[in-house]
Structures are given as C-alpha cells and as structure tokens.
Structure 1
Amino acid sequence: MKAIVYQKFGPADVLQTVEQEKPAIKADQVLVKVKAFSINPMDWKIRKGEMTLMSGSKFPKQTGTDFAGMVEETGSAVIGIKKGDEVFGVVKNMMKEGVSAEYVAVTASLVWKKPANISFTQAAAIPVVGTAAVTALEKMGNIRSQTSILVNGATGGFGMFLLQLLKQRGANITAVTSSQGAAYAKKWGANSVKDYKKENVLTQKTTYDFVVDLSGKMGYKSAKQIMKSKALFLNPTPKPIDIPLSLLGNLFRSKKHVVILSNPSAKNTDVLLRALNNGLEIEVNKVFPFAQYKEAYEYAERGGYMGKVVIAID
C-alpha cells in the first residue's frame, strides 16, 4: 500500500510516499480501507518538531489523525462492526500514529459507523476538532441565552463545530473572523461578527463569560482585559508548557486559563452525531487527491479558509 511518511522534521517538502505492507490487526482492532483523512494544525506542529515532548523523535513518522473509510477486516474480539461497514474514526495515540495511507489498523472503540447522509470527506473531518469542540462545551458547563462567548478565529474546523453546538444551546456568541468568514459565522450561529482587520475586540468595552482563542494569536494575558471576573479563557492550541503553567496559575486567579485537548470517545462522538441529526453542517473547504498531499498541507498551513481541508484516496 502507499503511505505518506517523513524521515525528519520540517516543512511539507519532507513528506514523501513509500510502499508499505498492509498493517496487521490485533484482536481489538479493525483494518480500514481509507477513503479520506483530514488535516489538522496538530499535523504540521508535530511534523515541524514543535511537539517533540509528546510525539518523540523516532522516524519514520506518518501524518494524519482522523479518517473515514470501509472496514476491510475485523479482529477476533471486535463486535458491532463488520467487513464492508462505512466508518469514521481516529488513531489511539494522536502524537505517534498516523492515517496517511491506503489502509490503517485502529482500535475498534475509536471507530464509528458513518451516517448515511454525509460523505466520507465530511466524516473524516469530524473526530479531532469535533470532539475538541464538545470538550470545550463541557468546560463551559451550563450555557444560557445570557451567556456571552467570544470565539476568536471562529470559522476554521474547530469553530465550525463549536459555533453550531453553541447555537443549539442558545448561547450569545460573538465571532471574530475575516470578512470572508462572516457569512459562515452567521450561518453557524454567531449573534454578532467582528472583522479582525477592522475591529480590535481587546480595545472594546464588552466583557465575556468565555473567551475561546481558536487562532492561537490572542493569548490569555491579552484576553484577561475582556473577561468577566470569573470567566474562562479556553485554549485549544496550547504549547506543551501551557498545560502545567495554566493548572498552576489557576490556583491563584479568578479568571481561569483552561487548556482544551481533543478527546475522541463514544460519549463525545454521540454528542456530535445527535447534533448532525439536529442540522449541524460540515463544511469541507477543499478536497485534495492523495497525489497532491504536499499541496494540501501547504494550503492548510496558510490558513484563511472556512471549515476543513481533506485528502481523498480513490
């Protein structure tokens, strides 16, 4: 089978295709013929060597974390999934495993049946950012119509899920995005939209119960000035050092800095599947063929698009 790997840290140019054997599965795993896999910021952070404390430095490495495809084989201990099922899922160790290949062996508990009303490319876009958005909701607790939430960098993949989940709960959402993203932010549930090139929310008088910094450009220190006295700053793009520092700092402050990590699980995926049944939309901005994987990662890393970028395998 063909697989995308890299032998050293660096830009998209370090990626290359190689021939590998199909992976053998364990009793609790399934072998999936991959039809699509999505691109997440974590992919290039790991590839550039920014996450070595968690990813390690052993090569070769594969890229990609979440995928969709068809079950080719099931392990002896697997129940509820059979050959031929259309599924989507995620690898168990997102820092050290990858799905950028024609086949992938994954733990069956992290694979779910694909809803018939969405495509493989849409399904591949769900697990990482979708479950991170659900985790953010859990951190927020009870959300009411008076709950004021600022989402900075609101129209990427994470924002697409978060805005719609918040809308379904009736929150009062202010989205910060580009002029091109304004229509998407409104469609996905924002009550008001700020164009970051025209307005600086940090200099305005409005304060919020929650500030979610999806762009990674605002930071807790800046966000404090627009947070209410017991507000939370939700950080889904942490540096490794942010995790211990935020926990320590929160012991001494009322405005909390909370790191959000993706947590794919049956419970969180069920939340997303119910939301899909209630009208949640999945916007795939662009689909690249497998052969154009370098162009796909370069495009994704430039940013500025709405929704997700996905690589498809014929």
Structure 2
Amino acid sequence: MKAIVYQEFGNVDVLQMAELPKPAIQSGEVLIRVKAFSINPMDWKIRKGEVKLMSGSKFPKYTGADFSGIVEEVGGAVAGFEKGDEVFGVVKNMMKEGASAEYIAVSAFQVWKKPSNITFAQAASLPVVSTAALTAIEKMGRIDSNTNILVNGATGGFGMILLQLLKQKGAHVTAVTSSNGIAFAKKWGADQVIDYRKEQVLSGNETYDIVIDLSGKMGYANAKQIMKPHSRFLNPTPNPIEIPTSLIQNLFTGKKHVIVLASPSTKYTNELLQAAGQGLDIQIHKVFPFHAFQEAYRYGEQGGYTGKVVIE
C-alpha cells in the first residue's frame, strides 16, 4: 500500500510517498480503507520538530490524525462494526502514528460510524477540531449570555466548530478573522466580527471574560491588555515551556493562562455526533488528491483559509 512518511524533521519537502505492507490488525482493532484525512496545524508542528519532547525523534514518522473510510477487516474482540461500514476516527497517538495511508489499523475505540448526512471529507475533518472545541468549552467554565468571549483566528477548522457550539451556549462572541471569513463567522454564530486587517483588536476598549487564540499569534502577554481582571486566556497551541510556566503564573494573577490539550473521548464524540445530526455546518475549503500531498500541506501551512483542507 501507499503511505506518506518522513525520515527527518523539516519542511514539506521531507514528506515522501512510500510503499509499505498493509497493516495486520490485533484483536481489538479494525482495518480501515482510508477515504480521506484532514490537515491540522499539529501535523507540521510535529514534522518540523517543534514538539520533540512529546513526539520523540524516532523515524520513520507519519502524518495525519483524523480520517474517514470503510471498514475492511474486524478484529475478533471487536463488536459493533462489520466489513463495509462507513466510519470516521482518529489515530490513538498523533505524535507517533498517522492516517496518511491507503490502509490503517486502529483501535475500535477510536472509530465511530459516519453519519449518513455528511461526506467522507467532512467526517475526516471533525475529530481533532471538534475534540479541541469541546475541550476548550469545558475549560471556559460556566458560560451564559453575559459571558463576553473573543475568538482570535475564528474561521479555520477549530473556529468553525467552536463558534457554532458557543452559539448554542448563548455566549456573546466576537470573532477575529480576515475579510474572507466575515460571512462565515456570522453564519456560525458570531455576534460581532473584527477584520484584523482593518482593526487591531488589542487597541480597542472592549474587555473579555475569555480570550481564545486559535491563530497562535496573539499570546497571553498581549491578550492581558483586553482581559477583565478575573478572566481566562485559552491557549490550544502552547509551546512546551508554556505548560509548566502557566501553572506557576496562575498562582499570582486573576488573569489565568489556560492550556488546552485535547484528546478524543466517547463523551466528546457523542456530543459531536449529536451536533452533526442536527446540521452542524462543516465547511471544506479545498480537497487535494492523495498524490498531491506536498502541495496540500504547503497550502495548509499558509493558513488564511476558511474551514478545513482535506486529502482524499
């Protein structure tokens, strides 16, 4: 089978197509014929060696965390799946594994049946960003109509899901995006939209109960300028050093720096499936064919687009 691998840390050019044996499954696993996998910022953070403490430096490495596909084979200890089922899921450890292959073997606990009202590309776009969005909301604490939330970098895949879920919670949400994302931010539930090319949110007079930076460009030090005395800055893209230092900082200030580290769970997936069944809007910005994987990742890393980029 064909798979995308890399043998050293680096830019998109280190990604190569390789011929590998089709994986054999263990009793608790299913073999998936992959139909699509999505691109996430963590893919290139791992590939560039930015998180070596968690990913290690053993090669080869793979890319892609969430996927959709068709069940090809079922392990003897697996119940609830059979050959031919349309499914979606996420690899157990994206630091060590990847979905960028024609076939992958994954634990049955990491796979769910695909809702019939969404495509394979849409299904492959959901697990990572949805888990992150639901984890972020949990970290926000109590949310109601009086909660003033700023979402910076609001119309990528993460923001797409987060805005819609926050709308269900009734929070007052300000979305920061480019002019290309304004219509989508409003569609997904933002009460106010700021075009960062025309207005500097850090220069405004508005203050927020919660600031979440999906772009990874604002940072806690800057966000403090627009945070209320007792508020939270949510950081889903921390540098490794920020994880311990934030815990120390939080002991001495009312403005908390909260690290958001997400991992899939049945609880989150059930919420996701319910939202998908109720018409969750899943915007696919662009789909690339498998052979154009370098082009796809190069495009994904540029950012500035709305929704998700997918490889089929």
TM-score (norm 1): 0.98
Match of 1:262?
Answer: 262
Rounded Cα–Cα distance in structure 1 between residues aligned with 2:274 and 2:228: 32
Rounded Cα–Cα distance in structure 2 between residues aligned with 1:133 and 1:180: 22
Shift of 1:141: 2.1
Shift of 1:142: 2.1
Contact 2:117–2:277 under 8 Å retained in 1: no
Match of 1:10?
Answer: 10
Shift of 1:81: 1.4
Letter in 2 for 1:279: G
Match of 2:243?
Answer: 243
Rounded Cα–Cα distance in structure 2 between residues aligned with 1:104 and 1:196: 40
Letter in 2 for 1:162: L
Aligned residue runs from structure 1 range 260-299, under 5 A: 260-299=260-299
Structure 1 residue 126 and structure 2 residue 126: aligned? yes
Rounded Cα–Cα distance in structure 2 between residues aligned with 1:252 and 1:78: 49
Match of 1:220?
Answer: 220
Rounded Cα–Cα distance in structure 1 between residues aligned with 2:163 and 2:104: 31
Rounded Cα–Cα distance in structure 1 between residues aligned with 2:114 and 2:94: 21
Rounded Cα–Cα distance in structure 2 between residues aligned with 1:127 and 1:171: 23
Rounded Cα–Cα distance in structure 1 between residues aligned with 2:277 and 2:71: 24
Task: Indicate the SS of the match to 1:309.
Answer: strand
Match of 2:55?
Answer: 55
Match of 2:207?
Answer: 207
Cα offsets for 1:5-57 (capped at 9, x unmatched): 01111111111111111111111111100000000000011111111111111
Cα offsets for 1:49-81 (capped at 9, x unmatched): 111111111111111110000011111111111
Rounded Cα–Cα distance in structure 1 between residues aligned with 2:4 and 2:119: 23
Aligned length: 312
Match of 1:155?
Answer: 155
Cα offsets for 1:74-131 (capped at 9, x unmatched): 1111111111111000011111111100000111101000000000000000011110
Rounded Cα–Cα distance in structure 2 between residues aligned with 1:3 and 1:94: 15
Shift of 1:262: 2.2
Shift of 1:271: 1.1
Gaps of 5+ in 1: none
Shift of 1:308: 0.5
Contact 2:115–2:277 under 8 Å retained in 1: no
Structure 1 residue 167 and structure 2 residue 167: aligned? yes
Cα offsets for 1:234-274 (capped at 9, x unmatched): 00111111111111211221111111122211110111111
Match of 2:89?
Answer: 89
Gaps of 5+ in 2: none
Rounded Cα–Cα distance in structure 2 between residues aligned with 1:271 and 1:257: 26
Letter in 2 for 1:254: G
Letter in 2 for 1:200: Q
Match of 1:110?
Answer: 110
Contact 1:160–1:307 under 8 Å retained in 2: yes
Rounded Cα–Cα distance in structure 2 between residues aligned with 1:75 and 1:234: 40
Letter in 2 for 1:171: A
Structure 1 residue 72 and structure 2 residue 89: aligned? no
Higher mean displacement: 268-277 or 50-59: 268-277
Contact 1:285–1:306 under 8 Å retained in 2: yes
Letter in 1 for 2:292: Q
Rounded Cα–Cα distance in structure 2 between residues aligned with 1:276 and 1:169: 16
Shift of 1:230: 1.3
Contact 1:209–1:231 under 8 Å retained in 2: yes
Rounded Cα–Cα distance in structure 1 between residues aligned with 2:249 and 2:101: 41
Letter in 1 for 2:226: I
Q: Which runs of 4+ in 1 moved over 2 A?
A: none
Contact 1:129–1:262 under 8 Å retained in 2: no
Cα offsets for 1:267-300 (capped at 9, x unmatched): 1011111112232110010000001000000000
Rounded Cα–Cα distance in structure 1 between residues aligned with 2:119 and 2:211: 32
